[in-house]
Every structure is written in structure tokens, then in C-alpha cells.
Chain A
Amino acid sequence: MKRWFWTTLLGLSVVVSAKAADVDLATKLVRAQDTFQQAKSKEEYLKAAAMYQEILDAGIVNGTILYDQGNAFMKAGERGRAIACYRQAKIYHPRDPYLDANLQYALGSPAGDVAPLAQLYFWRNWIGYREIFTWMMVFGCSAFVLAMIPIFRPNTRILTRLSLVPAAATLLLAAAGAMDWYRFDYLSHGVVTATEVTARKGNADSYAPAFTKPLAEGTEFTVVDERGGWLLVQLPDGPQGWIPSRDAVIF
């Protein structure tokens, strides 16, 4: 009886504390929204962006919060950081037209994809990262159930053939999920946040510039290497150069 009582109490306290954490995050979000709505200066918009970052750091990473943070950075004039936020939001909400519109506004041009071999990921604008795995499991479970029944009931062998369809879909989605896993969790992407930065042929200011023009704020790249406060970046059309880490944001 005593053990039952204490176990129940412990479980309730876990639930209550979880709920308290939810309320705490909701309160933070409301404050962040209020700060954004009432902001009039760059510093106030940056403060709102920092409040959204607190929510992200608390483990709530989702496209909507990233989108709002991107808006705060745009209002604060930090175009590079805004682009980084919008790109991260697109991982989760690739079909969101408002996100697309804001990203396009930040880029000043239609939002293309900057990842290498981006055309390989033909689904990137239709289905989000989480959705790929959700559908993979849906088809996978269907194939599993359809394939397991004939094992116990031999007169239902037609179901084995039927299970090939969801199994094929599962395989395709698993391949897409693996490619996205590589793209989002293995490759690092970045955006230039300085007004302009000169990319160099080596990781020091003593090296000659790598390109004929400096890279402007908002230039997107993928990170190839990182050394001693410098990043080796690759631009969408292929060329590479080194830039100081402080002049970019990585995600």
C-alpha cells in the first residue's frame, strides 16, 4: 500500500512537472511574441529573436518557431541570420507558402536550393523531414502486417503479393530518409552574416582572395571543413573558399 502510494505520487509529480515545463515554455513563447509585436528598434527585435532561441534551446525545435525567429532577425536587419532560420524551418515545413515568401524576400530572389546535387532530392519541396519517416513507418507497418498474415494462415498467400506494394514504398521512403539524414544532420550549411566578407584561398588573412568579389550578406554555402576559426565553404555552383567563422552562421 505504501509502495503504491509513493509510486503514484512520483508519477503524478513527473506529470505535473512536465506540465509545468509546458506552461513555462508557453509563457516564454507568449512573451517572445509580445516583445516582437511591440518592438520598434533593432535591439528589441534581437531581444525577441533571443527569446525564440531560448525555446529552441529548451528542446522545442520546430519550423514555426524558426520561422518566427527568422522574422525577428529580418526586422532587426540581420538578413543572413534570417535566411539561416528560414532554411532550417523549411526542413520541417517545405510546403509553407508564407515561409517561402519570407525566404524569397530575405534572399531578394526566388528561393533556390543551395545544397550540392540538390536536384537529386526532388521531394525536398513537397514532403518534410519528419513526414518522410512517418510515411515510411506507415507503409512499413502495412507491409509487415500483410506479410505476416500468410505465415499463420497459408490460404491467404495473396496478401504476400499485396505486401510488395507498401514494401516498395517503404524502401523508397527509407532511401529518401537516409539521404535527408545525410543532408540535414551530416552536412553543415551556413549563411554569411557580415555585410561582406572576402573568401580566401587559405585559412588566414595572408592568403589571396579566392573570388573576384567579396561574399555579400545572405550568401548561402555548405561547409566543407573547419580549421582554427575559419570555414572552408562551397558555394552552390561549386567554388570553394575560406571565410572567418565569425562572419557566418552555421546550421
Chain B
Amino acid sequence: MTRIGISALVIALLGVASADAQAPRLRAQVESQRVYEGEPFLYLLTLSNGAASAEPEIPVSDDFKVELVGQTQLMSSSFTVIINGVTTQSRNDQGRRYEYRLTPLRSGRLTIPAATVLVDGTKIQSQAITVEVVGPSQQDIANLEIAVDHTTVYPLQPFTVTLKIYLKALPGRFARENPVHVAWDRVLHIPWVDPEVVSPALSSPDDLNEWLGPLQRRNGWGFNINNLGSPGLFSLFGNNATTFELAAQKVKRKDASGVEASYWEYILSRSFVAKSTGELVFGPVSLKGKFAVENARDPNSSQLNVEPVYTIAPAVKVNVKDVPLAGRPETFTGAVGDFTFHADLTPRQAKVGEPMTLTLTLRGDGLLETAGAPNLEAVPAVAESFKVYEATEETKAHERIFTYSIRPENKEAQEFPAIPISYFSTAEEKYVTVYTDPLPVEISAAERLSANDIVAGGPVRKETESVEVARDGLFANMSTPATLVDERVRPEWWFGGLSAMVVTYGLASVVAARVRTRNADPEAIRRRTAVHRARQRLAGGNRRAAEDPHAAIDAYRAACLGLLADALLVDEQGLTVGDIDRLAHRLDLDVELTRRLKQFVDHCDSARFAGMMAETTPMSKEAEMLVAAMAGELKAKRKLS
């Protein structure tokens, strides 16, 4: 064939394939062509190159139970071919895969009918598939039985499903050996390992780990259950193949020939609770594996034969029915199960009209959440003597608690009466009424106003009903963003502030007292005011200088000598020039200052007494300079303050 011819053929085939690939197609597949009766297997329907308007339909068949497990969106795929530089592309559009679990209901060569699906109004059909369904073998080596303790239950009434497995005891000297203590494959398929497989409304109080975890073995002893732990399957039990060793005991039962033989009985039980009415089907359960049997050719041989076995136990049904309407008492409020009923009242002593709290507790196993509060006013003894307010309801583990606020309306009540409540007993399958114990109470009269307390006067008015504030119930919430203020108290800060004020006051008082003491001393006063007084004299002299120069000179002289006398606290009367040296020496005055002072005083004496005329102005200035110099030096020497 020429090169051109080959290319054309490839292109043509690709064109056909791509054209064919574009048409919608529904393809069916099974995980195995050989399956076992009662054991589900995977059935896949793949729709490609089209979008279905609804799920595919699989014709109803008596041979299979069909359950949709899930569906997956398929991504588009494409491929490119380049031949002799010519590029050809082909693509499959998006599709969908549907996964089903099919459980064969009988053995034999069975056909899974073709499924159909609508794509853009066109019915597309898959191919039918034939599978070989292996039925249970006729043998007495292994047998299964499923039992339930209740075939009829009520919602939330617990019931137990028990699987019993009987394995014939090993022959000869191996009779005492547990047959499952041999690491051969023994696979159990139990549908209710996952309760939701049985029904979405079914649940078990134990989760899988709590139920099977303690039975787990790694040494191959026991049974493989639903391939839990097999590689590739998500399992709580890890990714290694795992088995579960069930509780076992030896029993006697008849074998296939009707002769009593020894069997090992293995029991696996699980409790369930159905949340709604309906029929629940548990099973079938299948067991397949290899089991050791007697060597038929040589029964005395120490070697045993191995025989493959497949057996199933037919399913059992449990009917979940609603509690009956017939015979339902008025005191029934919805509880189903088995319960006791208790009452408590606080306080036991009260005055008429005071609030009391009644707590009724319904305690036991069963359906509690929907039980309503008993109607206390239907109890005549309660209605006669107590006012009852609406109850609050609360559910805790195995308890339903009703809390009432009640008030005694008279003091006649000696006890709070027994309160009835009815529930439907699942054990007895009838309505049962239980009562609380009566509770002794002590009700005294409310306080009354005496006649003297009532002031009469004015026109008689028609009595009107007074409105009483209800004591029960909660008042509304009050917080607003404006109330978001931290009200916490830090007492240490407050006491610290108070202490600071006390200390401040104390210190101020002490200082003030010392100042006052100091200021009251005459000598201190004299020293403190010495300079002021000297300046006052100078000012006085200056004022009188024009009218009376002699008086001015006297003032200037007195200012200087007076300052010296004040510093030493001596009498300034009679001080002369001759005293200046002595005084200056006591005061440790500067020598030059002392000379100037003596010269000035002498000048004043001459002007005053010797009749010599002197200008008062320069004398005033000299006196001011002397006073200032002496004041500075005496203050520096702390002779003056």
C-alpha cells in the first residue's frame, strides 16, 4: 500500500472513530462475571457524549436487588494524531458514570437487562450482561442463622440483631481446636455493618469501632467482615487485611445426615434503633471461605482436607410500627419505653400566694424527647388548691424534666397530690400509667391588714380589681451599646487615692505648724523685718530731707545702725561710732564695709551735732548703698533672714 493510501485509511478510521465517538453511548460493566448469591457486586453504567435528562432506568428484575450508590461527572478527553505532518484531533464530550450495587437473589446464570437513558429525547440503551451467580453449597460444614429479639418494635425501641455462625468441629485429634484459628480466608458479608445500608432511618448506639474494634485480630484468626481493612478500602481498622474473632462456644446440633455433631457457635450481635415506622430487612448474610474437613480416604490421617464453602442465611424482617391509638389514655403525652416518674417541690412551706417550684422527672429508657408536660390542672386536687403556670421542659440523658411554678391558693392543702403520666410500654406493648409520690406541704395564711390599718373616709367607691404583678417569668434583657462600661472596681486604687489625700493633709499640717512656730518668735520677727525697717527709715528720711535735713540725717544714721542692732538683737539706742567696730567684729563684717560705715556715721554725727552743713542727697545715696551692702552680707552670713 502506498504511503498516501495508509494515511488515507488512518484518517478515515479516525474520522469514523471520532464520528462514532461523538454519538451518545451507554455502556454497562460489572466487577466480576462470577458472583455469589446474596453478595452485592458493583455494576457501572457509563454515559458518554451526552447529558442525560434523568438517571438511567434498569428494568425491575426478580433476580437482582438494585441500589444506586453514586454518580460521577466524567471530564472530556481528546487525542491528537499526526501522520506525515497532518494533525488530526478527536475528542469525547463530557459524560457521567452511575454506580449501582446489585445483589443477586438466586443462583444460576442470570442476565442483567439492558439499562436505558434519555439523551436529548432519544432513548439510548446499554448492553445486557450475563453473570454466573453461585448459590450456597449443600453442606453442613458451615451454617448461618440471623435472629432478632423483636420482630415488631416501636420507634426508638432498641432491638438486637444476632448472627449465629456454626462451624463443624474439626475431626479427630483436632476436635478441640477452634476452626477459625487457622489463617485461611473466611469472608463474611453482613449488610448491617453499615446501618444506613439497611435504612436511612436506622441507627446503632455503638459506632463501628466500638462494636468491632475489640474483636479485631492481626493474626488471621476469625472472620473477615465485609473486607474491612483490605488494602484500597477506607477502613477504621487500617489498611492491612484484618479479621475479627467472635465469641465462640461448642454446641451440639444435627448435621446433614441428621446425626448430632459438635459444632462451634459464633455469635455477633448488634443493637439498633429505628427512627421511623416501616419495614427493615436484615440480610441476607453470606459466608465463603475454606474450611478443614476430614480426610475421607483416610479418616485416621493426621492431615485434613480443605474444602471451599459458600453459604448464606436468608434475611429477616423487623416491622417498626407506631404506638396504637386504641386505648390511649388522656395522660399519655408521647413517651415510649419504660419509665419511672418522680416529683419534687421547693419550698415545702409557704404562705398562700407565694411561689413554689414543682419539678417532675420522667426517668428511664426509650423515646423521651417528644414527651410533653403533664396537665396538672386536670388533677382535681391540684386545680382546687394551686394555681399552675406554664411548665418548662428539658431533656437530659435518660430523663425528661418538667418544671412548673405554682402558687397555693388556700391553706387547706396538706400535701401536693400524686401526678399521673402515661407512656407506651414496649415491653408490655400497652399503655402504662405511673404516679409520683404525694408530697407533704405546709401552707399558711397570707398576711392580712388589720382594721386599724385601713383608713376610712371619702365617698364609698365601688371595688375594682387590683392588678397583681406576676412573679414568674423573666424580665427582658436590658443591655445596649451605651451600657458597655466596665464597672469593675479596683479598691487598691481608691484606697491609694484616699491615702494620698490623708498624707498630703498630714504633711501640710506639719509644715504649716512649723512655719507658724517660727513666725511667732520675736527675735525671728525682728531679724526678718530688719532690712524692711532700715529701708523704711531711709524712705522716711528722704521724705523729710527738704524740710528737716537734721531729721533726715538722723533717719539715715538710724537705718544703718539699726540694721546692725537688729542683726545682733541688741538695743540700738545709744549706739555710737565707737560701737561699730565691736558690732562689726561680732558680725564678721567686711573690713572695708565697716570703715565706710564708721565714716558715714561720723559724717552724720558731724552734720548733726557739729553744725556742719551737708547735702542730704549724697548722704541718702551713701546710706542706701551701706544698707544694701550690709543686708546682702548679713543675709549671706544668715544673720538676717
What residues make up the interface of A, taking CB atoms closer than 8 Å to B? Answer: 22, 25-26, 29-30, 33, 36, 42, 55, 59-65, 67-68, 71, 74-75, 77, 92, 98, 101-102, 104-105, 108-109, 129-130, 133, 136-137, 140-141, 144, 147-148, 151-152, 154, 170, 174, 177-178, 181, 185, 195, 216
Q: Which residues of the partner chain A approach B471 to less than 8 Å between Cβ atoms? A: 101, 104-105
Q: Do residues A62 and B486 form an inter-chain contact, with CB atoms below 8 A? A: yes
21 contacts between A and B (CB under 8 A): A26-B481, A26-B484, A29-B484, A42-B394, A59-B486, A62-B485, A62-B487, A65-B479, A68-B478, A71-B477, A77-B392, A98-B475, A101-B475, A105-B472, A105-B474, A109-B346, A129-B489, A137-B494, A151-B508, A177-B494, A216-B346
- Nearest to A68 among chain B residues (CB) is B477
Q: Give complex CA distance A62, B489 in Å.
A: 10
Q: Do residues A98 and B505 form an inter-chain contact, with CB atoms below 8 A? A: no
- Nearest to B350 among chain A residues (CB) is A109
B79 within 8 A of A: no
Query: Total A-B pairs in contact (CB under 8 Å)?
Result: 115
Chain B interface size band reads 35 or more
Q: Which residues of the partner chain B approach A42 to less than 8 Å between Cβ atoms? A: 394
Which B447-505 residues have C-beta < 8 A from chain A?
471-481, 483-489, 491, 494-495, 497-498, 501, 504-505
B357 within 8 A of A: yes
- Nearest to A106 among chain B residues (CB) is B474
**Smallest Cβ distance from B361 to chain A, in angstroms?**
9
Q: Do residues A64 and B512 form an inter-chain contact, with CB atoms below 8 A? A: no
Q: Which residues of the partner chain A approach B346 to less than 8 Å between Cβ atoms? A: 108-109, 216
- Nearest to B357 among chain A residues (CB) is A108
Q: Give complex CA distance A89, B516 in Å.
A: 53
What is the 8 Å Cβ interface bit string for chain B, positions 309-335, against chain A (1 contact, 0 not)?
A: 000000000000000000000000000
If the complex has contacts A59-B486, A109-B347, A136-B498, are A67 and B478 also in contact, measured as CB distance less than 8 A?
A: yes
Q: Give complex CA distance A42, B394 in Å.
A: 9
Q: Do residues A102 and B475 form an inter-chain contact, with CB atoms below 8 A? A: yes
**Smallest Cβ distance from A174 to chain B, in angstroms?**
6
Q: Which residues of the partner chain B approach A216 to less than 8 Å between Cβ atoms? A: 344, 346
B3 within 8 A of A: no
Known contacts A36-B477, A105-B355, then 13 further A-B pairs from the complex at CB < 8 Å, ordered by chain A residue: A25-B481, A29-B481, A55-B484, A60-B485, A61-B486, A68-B478, A68-B479, A71-B476, A74-B474, A77-B392, A136-B494, A140-B501, A174-B498
B356 within 8 A of A: yes
Q: Do residues A133 and B479 form an inter-chain contact, with CB atoms below 8 A? A: no
Q: Give complex CA distance A102, B485 in Å.
A: 22
Which of B480, B488, B489 is the most central at the interface, judged by chain A CB atoms within 10 Å of its CB?
Answer: B489
B173 within 8 A of A: no
B396 within 8 A of A: yes
**Smallest Cβ distance from A153 to chain B, in angstroms?**
11
B509 within 8 A of A: yes
Which of B488, B491, B501 is the most central at the interface, judged by chain A CB atoms within 10 Å of its CB?
Answer: B491
Q: Give complex CA distance A137, B496 in Å.
A: 11
Q: Do residues B484 and A25 form an inter-chain contact, with CB atoms below 8 A? A: yes
- Nearest to A23 among chain B residues (CB) is B481
B501 partner, pick from A64, A108, A141, beta carbons under 8 A: A141
- Nearest to A177 among chain B residues (CB) is B491
Q: Give complex CA distance A151, B475 in Å.
A: 55
Q: Do residues A64 and B508 form an inter-chain contact, with CB atoms below 8 A? A: no
- Nearest to B504 among chain A residues (CB) is A144
B157 within 8 A of A: no
Q: Give complex CA distance A67, B475 in Å.
A: 10
Q: Give complex CA distance A65, B344 in Å.
A: 32
A60 partner, pick from B347, B486, B494, B516, beta carbons under 8 A: B486
Q: Give complex CA distance A29, B477 in Å.
A: 12
Q: Which residues of the partner chain B approach A101 to less than 8 Å between Cβ atoms? A: 471, 475
Q: Do residues A148 and B508 form an inter-chain contact, with CB atoms below 8 A? A: yes
- Nearest to A185 among chain B residues (CB) is B491
Q: Give complex CA distance A55, B481 in Å.
A: 11
Q: Give complex CA distance A216, B93 in Å.
A: 70
B405 within 8 A of A: yes
B473 partner, pick from A26, A105, A130, A154, beta carbons under 8 A: A105
**Smallest Cβ distance from B485 to chain A, in angstroms?**
6
Q: Which residues of the partner chain A approach B401 to less than 8 Å between Cβ atoms? A: 195
Q: Give complex CA distance A136, B502 in Å.
A: 13
Q: Which residues of the partner chain A approach B504 to less than 8 Å between Cβ atoms? A: 144
Q: Which residues of the partner chain A approach B477 to less than 8 Å between Cβ atoms? A: 33, 36, 67-68, 71
- Nearest to A62 among chain B residues (CB) is B487
Q: Give complex CA distance A158, B587 in Å.
A: 45
**Smallest Cβ distance from B203 to chain A, in angstroms?**
20
**Smallest Cβ distance from B390 to chain A, in angstroms?**
13
Which of B399, B405, B471, B498 is the most central at the interface, judged by chain A CB atoms within 10 Å of its CB?
Answer: B498
Q: Give complex CA distance A138, B475 in Å.
A: 34
